[in-house]
C-alpha cells in the first residue's frame, strides 16, 4: 500500500500499531461512512473518523447551530451560531484532516431520500436525536442490507449497538415499536450531560473503524449501555427475532 510522506506522518501511530498497520489504514482510506446528525453524538464520531483517515464522510443534518448546542456538540463553536450544522462541521473537519472527502447533506433524513443517501456509503452511523429517525435508519439499512451503528443518549446515560442486517438483531428485534417522542420541554429537561454523547459517539466511531478494517469484535447482538453517574458499562445480549417485521423474513 502506498502512502504519501504526509500520510505516513499523519497516521504513524496507526501504521506502527501491531494488529492494525498499513493494511487496515488502507481500508480506512477506501472506506465511506455517513453520519446522520451533526450534534452531540455526531460531533465526536465525525472528529475521530476524520482523524483516523476514513476516505469519505457524509454528514446529514438540516439544523442550524444554537448556543444551547455548544455544551455538548463540540464540533461547533460560538462563531458558528446561526450557521448550518453541516457547514460548520465540514469547516472544522477540513482543518483537522484535509485528506478526507467531506460530503454535506443539509437535509432531514426521510423515507424519500434515505435509500439514495445510504447507497453511496459502506456503513451508517445513527447520531440522530429522535426515535422516528432511529427506526427509519434501522428499517432502511435492513432493506438495503447495510450495516449501521445505533446509539442514543439521555440525561446521564447512553446506549450503543452495531447491526449487521439479517445476521444480527436489528433495532426492531429489541424494540418492535418506537416509544412516544418526549415533548420539547421534557426533552430539554432530560439533558444530556455534555460528556455523555462524547463517550457514546466515540464508541460509534470505534465500531465503524472496526467494521471497515476487520479489526476486533463488533457490538452485534448486544446492547451496550453506559451509566455516566457510576462510570459503569453493562452489556445485554440480544437475539434476532425470526418474527421481526423488518429483518425476520428471508432475503
DSSP the chain: ----HHHHHHTHHHHTSTTTHHHHHHHHHH-EEEEE-SSTTHHHHHHHHHHHT-SEEEEE---B--GGGGGT-TT--GGGTTSBHHHHHHHHHHHH-TTSEEEEE-S---TTTHHHHHHT-SEEEE--SSHHHHHHHHHHHHHHT--EEEEEEETTEEEEEEE-TTTS--HHHH-SSPPPPPPHHHHHHT---THHHHHHHHHHHHHHHHHHHT-S---TTEEEEEETTTTEEEEEE----TT-TTTSS--
pLDDT attached to residue 247: 87
Each domain of the chain, given as residue ranges in start order, spans 12-237
Which stretches in the chain have pLDDT values below 50?
A: 185, 251
Q: What is the pTM of this model?
A: 0.95
pLDDT attached to residue 251: 44
**Are residues 55 and 29 in contact, defined by beta-carbon separation less than 8 angstroms?**
yes
pLDDT attached to residue 158: 98
pLDDT attached to residue 181: 74
pLDDT attached to residue 205: 98
Return d(Cα 186, Cα 182) in angstroms, integer.
Answer: 6
Return d(Cα 45, Cα 61) in angstroms, integer.
Answer: 14
Any idea which fold 12-237 has?
Answer: Rossmann fold (3.40.50)
pLDDT attached to residue 190: 67
Amino acid at each position: 500500500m502506498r502512502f504519501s510522506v504526509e500520510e505516513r506522518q499523519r497516521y504513524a501511530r496507526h501504521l506502527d500499531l501491531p494488529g492494525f498497520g498499513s493494511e487496515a489504514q488502507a481500508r480506512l482510506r477506501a472506506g465511506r461512512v455517513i453520519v446522520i446528525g451533526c450534534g452531540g453524538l455526531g460531533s465526536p464520531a465525525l472528529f475521530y473518523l476524520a482523524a483516523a483517515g476514513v476516505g469519505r464522510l457524509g454528514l446529514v443534518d438540516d439544523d442550524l447551530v444554537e448556543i444551547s448546542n455548544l455544551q455538548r456538540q463540540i464540533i461547533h463553536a460560538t462563531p458558528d451560531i446561526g450557521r448550518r450544522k453541516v457547514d460548520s462541521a465540514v469547516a472544522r473537519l477540513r482543518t483537522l484532516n484535509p485528506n478526507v472527502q467531506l460530503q454535506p447533506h443539509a437535509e432531514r433524513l426521510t423515507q424519500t431520500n434515505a435509500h439514495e443517501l445510504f447507497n453511496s456509503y459502506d456503513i451508517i452511523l445513527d447520531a440522530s436525536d429522535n426515535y422516528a429517525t432511529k427506526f427509519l435508519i434501522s428499517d432502511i439499512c435492513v432493506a438495503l442490507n447495510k450495516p449501521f451503528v445505533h446509539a442514543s443518549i439521555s440525561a446521564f446515560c447512553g446506549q450503543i449497538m452495531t447491526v449487521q442486517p439479517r445476521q444480527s438483531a436489528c433495532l426492531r428485534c429489541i424494540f418492535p415499536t418506537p416509544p412516544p417522542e418526549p415533548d420539547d420541554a421534557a426533552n430539554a429537561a432530560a439533558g444530556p450531560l455534555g460528556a455523555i454523547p462524547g463517550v457514546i459517539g466515540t464508541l460509534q466511531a470505534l465500531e465503524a473503524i472496526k467494521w471497515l478494517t476487520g479489526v476486533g469484535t463488533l457490538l452485534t447482538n448486544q446492547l451496550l449501555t453506559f451509566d455516566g453517574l457510576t462510570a459503569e458499562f453493562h452489556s445485554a445480549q440480544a437475539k434476532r427475532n425470526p418474527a421481526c417485521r423488518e429483518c425476520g423474513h428471508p432475503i
